[in-house]
Amino acid sequence: MSVITKHVVIVGGGTAGWLSASLLAKQHGQSVKVTLIESCDIPTVGVGEGTWPSMRTTLQKIGISEAEFITKCNATFKQASKFVNWVANSGDEYYHPFTAPIGNGKLDIAAYWQDQAHSNSSFCDTVTFQSMLCREGIAPKSIANKEYETVANYGYHLDAGKFAQLLKEHSIEKLGVKHIVGNVTHVNQDAHANITGVVTDSAGLIEAEFFVDCSGFKSLLLGGALKVPFIAKNDILFADTALAMQVPYQDPQQAIACQTISTAQEAGWIWDIGLQHRRGVGYVYSSQYSSEEQARATLKKYVGPQSANISIRKISFQTGHREIFWKNNCVAIGLASGFLEPLEASALMLVETSANFIADQLPLTSDEMLPLSRRFNHVFQAKWRGIIDFLKLHYILSRREETFWQANKQPASIPDSLSQLLALWKHRSPSDYDFLQNYEAFSAQSYAYVLYGAGYKTDFSLTQHLHNQHERANKLLLMKQQQTNQLALRLPRHRELINQIAQQGFAKL
C-alpha cells in the first residue's frame, strides 16, 4: 500500500543539514513536517567557504536578503578562482572566472585567440573582463544594483559556521522547522530495509516517511544503517589532509581579494579566501608526499610572521563518495555522501544542488521513491564523475617537477573519461557537445579557462575552415575591451562595496 510523505527527518546540522531544511520547509512546509536532529557533540568541519553563483538563486528561494546574508556571514564576493604556480612554479598564474567568454554560444573564440594576433595576452584576459576586475580588486556590482542583481557574475566567500547559524535561525523562526538537539542512538528499519524511525537520546523515537542523512563523514544512515559502500578515489586525487588557519587582517580596511587564490606547493596547494575581517587559509596536501611537520612549515611560510600566533586545525579526509546517494527512503547530502578536495568549491555546490533536487522532487508517496531515487543517483553519479575529471585536469596540465605532481600525470591515475576529452581537444576546443547532459558539474567554458590558462595548445590546423569569421571575432574582442574599460570606471572597489552594504544595504527587489 502506498504511503504518503507527511514527515521528513534530517539527521545532522551544519550547512548541509540546515540548507536542506530551509529548502524543504520553504517548498513543502504547509503539507510536510520537517524535523532536524542535531548533535551537540559533533563539531562541523566548517571550512567550505566558497560558493558558486547558483547560491544567489538558492538564497532568494528560501527568502534571505543578500544584505543580511553578507552582513551576518562575514561574506564577500567571489568572481573567480586564481591558480598561482600550478603550471611551472615560476610565478605563473591563471584565472577560472564565473563569466563566460565573449561570444559564448555564437563563436568558438579560442581558435581566434590562439591566432598570433591575440596570443600575446592570456586566454582569460582576451575573452572576458572578469580577470581584470579580480586583479584590480573591483567588485562585481555597485550599491545601486538590486539584491542578487549582477553586473559581473559572482558567487560568495563566507564564514561556514556563521552561514549554518543563519540558516538555522531562518529555518526555525521563519520556516517552521522543528529542531531537536540530541544524538541518534539507533536506526529502526522494516523488513525491506526502509528506515521507519530514529531513536534519539533526548527525544526518543522519531518516525518519518523520508530521511536525509547530513551526518557528515560518519554517514550514519546511508553508510551505517543502509550499508551503502564507499568508493575511494584516492587513486585519482591524492590529497587526504588539510591544515586550516584563520588569519585576521592587520588593517581592518585592507583590500579584499574577490577570487579564491590557490597556490600550488610541493605536495598540494594552499587556499586563500578573503572574508570581511579575516582570511581563511589552508594547505591541502597528500600525506604520502609530505609529513605533517613539512606541511605545517609550508603553511606558516605562506602566511608569514603572523602565523606564529595562530592555531592550526588539522582535517583528515578520505577522497571518494558513496556508491549511490539515495537508497530506499534515505538520501545523503554533504559529507555523508562523500568528499573530494576543496578545489573549485565543489563541496558546497553539491550540497546546494542535492538539496534543491530533493526539495523540487520530494517523493509525495512511497510509490515514487524508487523512480526518483534512480533519477537522483543517475544525476549525481554523473556530477561526481565530472567533478573528479575537472579537478584532475588541473593537476595533469602542470609541468611542476616534484614527485607529487609527476605522480598525478601517470596514465593509471587519469580517468578514461578525462583521457577521452583530452583526445577530443587536440584539434578542437571544449564544446557544449562534450557535455550534453545539463546536470554536468562543469561546463565547456570552465574546461577552456583551465586548459588554456595552464598553457594547453589546441592544434586548429585541421579545423581552420570552421574558423573563418575573423572580422566578427575581432569585433567581439573589441567589445570585450570596451566593457573592461567601462567597468573599471563604473564599479567600486570590493572593500568599498562591503562597507556600503553594512551601512545601507542594496536597493530592494
Catalytic amino acids?
78
Place of cell 591563471: 94
Sign (positive/negative) of CA torsion 290, 292, 296, 297?
negative
Q: Alpha helices of 235-311 — where are they, by DSSP H? A: 292-303
Q: Which residues contact 38 (CB under 8 A, 6 or more apart)?
A: 12, 13, 17, 179, 180, 181, 182
In angstroms, rounded to a whole number, what is the distance separating the alpha carbons of residues 509 and 507?
7
3-state secondary structure of 248: strand
In angstroms, rounded to a whole number, what is the distance separating the alpha carbons of residues 23 and 58?
8
**The three three-digit cell numbers of residue 95, written as one number:** 584565472
Nearest to 413 by CA among 337, 335, 319: 319
In angstroms, rounded to a whole number, what is the distance separating the alpha carbons of residues 131 and 319?
31
Sheet of strand 338-339, all strands in order from the earlier edge strand to the far edge: 230-232, 320-322, 338-339
Place of cell 547530502: 333
b or e along 214-251 (b: 16 or more beta carbons within 10 Å of the residue's beta carbon)?
bbbbbbbbbbebbebebeebeebbbbbbbbbbbbebee
Q: Which residues contact 385 (CB under 8 A, 6 or more apart)?
A: 415, 417
Instruction: Determine how β-strand 320-322 pairs with β-strand 230-232.
Output: antiparallel
CB 273 within 8 A of CB 47: no
CB 322 within 8 A of CB 224: no
